[in-house]
Amino acid sequence: MFILVIGFLLVIPENGFTSPLLFKTTKEVTTTAIVELGSFDSTRFRQLRIVVQLTNKPKARQAISKDSTLTELNASKRELRRSEELLQQGVISRSDYDQSAERLKIAQANYDNALEIVFPPIMILGLEGNEEIPLVSFDGESSTNSIVIDSPPSRIRVNVFGKGTYKLFVWASV
């Protein structure tokens, strides 16, 4: 696709979409919580083009599988039971037992993290009254994601999930 940006005018020859820039923002997200990148009234427009760019993406964490963390958790539970027996027999010190208990806490936290629900990094929602309508979500694999929305709902909200620098551009046709 060929995109040419001239001032505040977007020209996309393939589909003839030309319109003025309506909304532009850049936000540095430093948390792993869901953050609103932008929200705006879209009642006056018949078509919107929304572009979200992730310009500074931190290195991805290595995915931890539920199976491997469950194996680690079960092994830590067995180790703690064995350490408890050995502590009662006087074979190991209280310090050694405490280390086993700490490894169990870490294994439990890793397992809990592996079970967390993962949100898509970029979500575009339509809002009608109190109802949220998911319009599209992007996996974050591409640095630039875009969508054209015909007959948009009354409000649009763009949420992001994950650390990085995000840029949001919105063009609109009346």
Cβ pair 142, 1 in contact under 8 A: no
State whether 53 and 124 are in the same domain. Answer: yes
The pLDDT value given to residue 43: 87
The pLDDT value given to residue 78: 95
Instruction: Look at the pTM and tell me if it is higher than 0.75.
Output: no
111-134 burial string, b = 16+ CB within 10 Å, else e?
beebeeeeeebbbbbbbeeeeeee
Residue 4 falls within a domain, yes or no?
A: no
State whether 52 and 22 are in the same domain. Answer: yes
Cβ pair 4, 11 in contact under 8 A: yes
Q: Which of 95, 115, 135 marks a domain boundary? A: 115
pLDDT at 55 over 50: yes
DSSP secondary-structure letter at 80?
H
Residue 164 falls within a domain, yes or no?
A: yes
Section 22-46 average pLDDT = 86
Q: Which of 76, 92, 115 marks a domain boundary? A: 115
State whether 124 and 167 are in the same domain. Answer: yes
Most confident of 42-56, 57-71, 104-118, 136-150: 42-56
Strands (E), 57-154: 122-128, 131-138, 144-150
Residue 160 falls within a domain, yes or no?
A: yes
Residue 22 falls within a domain, yes or no?
A: yes
Q: Which of 82, 98, 115 marks a domain boundary? A: 115
The pLDDT value given to residue 137: 80
Q: Which two tokens stand for residue 13?
A: 């020859």
State whether 27 and 42 are in the same domain. Answer: yes
The pLDDT value given to residue 75: 94
* pLDDT confidence band for 118 (50 / 70 / 90): low
The pLDDT value given to residue 105: 92
Section 127-143 average pLDDT = 78
CATH at residue 143:
2.60.120.380
As for how many domains the chain has, the answer is: 2
Residue 5 falls within a domain, yes or no?
A: no
Residue of 8, 7, 1 lying closest to 171 (CA atoms): 8
> Domain span at residue 96?
66-115
